[in-house]
Amino acid sequence: MTNNYWQLKHGFILASASPQRKALLERVRLIPDKIVSPDVCEELLPNELPRRYVQRVAIQKARAVAKQYPNTCVLAADTILAVGRRIIRKATNETEAKNHLLLLSGRKHHVITGLCIITPEGKEIVRVNSTAVILKKLSEKDIQFILNSNEWQHVAGYRIEGIIAAFVKQMCGSYDSVVGLPTYEVVQIMRGIAGT
């Protein structure tokens, strides 16, 4: 697999350690030359709204890596779940994960992904993708089943590609963005960068 179809003339770096993002890029044949995990603070600022938060963090990640590797194409992203203005962060233990599931149960929420691509010339291209998701009303048995899978670990809320899919009642938007990267938007941006 190569980047040849997209005719990327410069190095392409994925500023993320997420295996889901790497797999999504590989699926559309956008293979990073290098994967770098950015070291940035992801703390929520006072009164920061969900869309603004993911946009800011994605930009910070991209800038941190672009500073290390100038004159390359850098892609960074950040994904969160939001219930209204409330941001659902990664659970640190099973109790937190259960509380998240109780909050999301039967309720419409949004999975929001901020995307930042920095071109070899230093131009920043920023997008925010929001997908509405409704889970069925979860029973205690449903919740325990999800928790027992351990798929809640290291993710904000759930892994849409995991067993939670059995409980998704409705989704409006980009499935790939819920996984972690809106591939359609990424491909269109890369087309522009490559001039194809």
pLDDT digits (tens, 9 = 90+) for 158-183: 999 999 999 999 999 999 999 999 99
Q: Is beta strand 12-14 parallel, antiparallel or unpaired with respect to 73-83?
A: parallel
- Residue 25 carries which side chain, given as an amino acid letter? L
- Residue 64 carries which side chain, given as an amino acid letter? A
Q: Confidence band (pLDDT; 50, 70, 90) for 119?
A: very high
What pLDDT is stored for residue 54 in this prediction? 96
- Give the residue numbers annotated as catalytic, written as ranges: 78
Taking the CA atoms of the chain, what radius of gyration do you get in angstroms? Answer: 17
| Segment 81-102, tens digit of pLDDT | 999 999 998 889 999 999 999 9
pTM of the model: 0.91
CATH topology classification for 4-194 = Maf protein (3.90.950)
Q: Where are the domains of the chain?
A: 4-194
